[in-house]
Amino acid sequence: MLSRISVRCGMIGVIGHNKANFRCGGDLLSISCTTEDGNVRSKVRFGKDVGDVDGVVDVIVYSAGYDELRRIVEEEATASGLHAEFAERSGCHDPDCHDPHCCGHHHER
């Protein structure tokens, strides 16, 4: 899933760092991708067959809009048989920023 997300995101922007952590019981799967070819690297792998999982996916893509990124993640999660829930951003308080989902560290808070 993260590989497909990264390939699609690479078509619309520059990938900063796409990563995911999934838990199944006490096991952890930690993966990341920084390239548009979708080459995913594993840090930790599941040690047994996987049942129900909970996880977090963080997608950082420069020059891509929030709505488009959300659509890609949602579509790929669904295609993988997963349900995606999204953390909503309240945006920054910079009067010159018109991105309602901005979380830029250089903007006013």
User: For residue 95, is pLDDT > 60?
Assistant: yes
The whole-angstrom separation of Cα 55 and Cα 19 is 11
Task: Band the pLDDT of 101: cuts 50, 70, 90.
Answer: low
pLDDT given at position 107: 61
Tens digit of pLDDT for each residue in 29-79? 899 999 999 999 887 777 777 778 888 898 888 888 888 999 999 999 999
106 phi/psi in degrees, rounded to 5: -90, -5
C-alpha span between 1 and 85 (Å, rounded):
15
C-alpha span between 84 and 89 (Å, rounded):
16
Phi and psi torsions of 18, nearest 5°: -100, 130
